[in-house]
């Protein structure tokens, strides 16, 4: 899948977290997720400098290849560290299928400083940069199988919830 995030902060991470992670802890710095951090680091089990830092207004692209367990990140359409998702080389991580076998991964944004914000695009609007060949938006038309029960009225199941932080850490929204 391919997703984009319009960046607004240096300490915002975008990536994937596995289903059993602790959503209250700073999972961006643990083995529970695989992230590109806007300060130019990768977050996860081997957090380290990786690629370039981004600035406010930059578009972060994330390509996830679950068939091969690979995770890639781009800034304004340039894949970091020589990554080439279409050809399967230069991934930030290549362990999504082996780190936690038989566990689902979910797209996620992590912020741990005040005023961090961003706009995620899963394909609901046109992407700013062209996804790599073979990577598609994360939406119902790309993940529905023949056995999937379709939701004809999403408002019965989903709604938007706006949250304004209060400066305290360790918040988990309950729905």
pLDDT tens-place values along the chain, 175 residues long: 888 888 776 667 888 887 766 655 554 555 678 888 888 888 877 778 988 898 888 999 999 998 899 999 999 999 999 999 999 999 999 988 888 777 788 888 776 666 666 788 888 888 999 999 999 887 666 665 556 566 667 667 666 666 677 777 666 656 5
CA-closest candidate to residue 50, choices 18, 73, 29 = 73
Question: Residue 93: CB partners within 8 Å, gap ≥ 6?
Answer: 34, 42, 44, 69, 70, 71
User: pTM (2 decimals)?
Assistant: 0.76
């Amino acid at each position: 899948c391919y997703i984009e995030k319009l960046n607004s902060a240096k300490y915002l991470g975008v990536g994937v977290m596995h289903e059993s992670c602790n959503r209250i802890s700073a999972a961006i710095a643990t083995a529970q997720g695989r992230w590109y951090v806007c300060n130019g680091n990768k977050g996860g089990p081997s957090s380290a400098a990786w690629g370039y830092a981004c600035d406010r207004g930059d578009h972060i692209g994330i390509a996830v290849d679950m068939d091969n367990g690979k995770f890639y990140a781009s800034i304004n359409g340039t894949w970091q560290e020589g990554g080439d998702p279409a050809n399967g080389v230069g991934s930030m991580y290549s362990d999504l299928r082996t780190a936690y076998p038989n566990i689902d991964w979910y797209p996620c944004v992590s912020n741990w400083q005040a005023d961090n914000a961003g706009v995620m695009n899963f394909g609901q609007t046109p992407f700013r940069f062209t996804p790599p060949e073979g990577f598609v938006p994360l939406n119902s038309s790309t993940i529905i199988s023949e056995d999937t029960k379709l939701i004809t009225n999403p408002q019965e199941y989903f709604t938007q919830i706006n949250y304004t932080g209060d400066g305290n850490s360790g918040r988990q929204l309950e729905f």
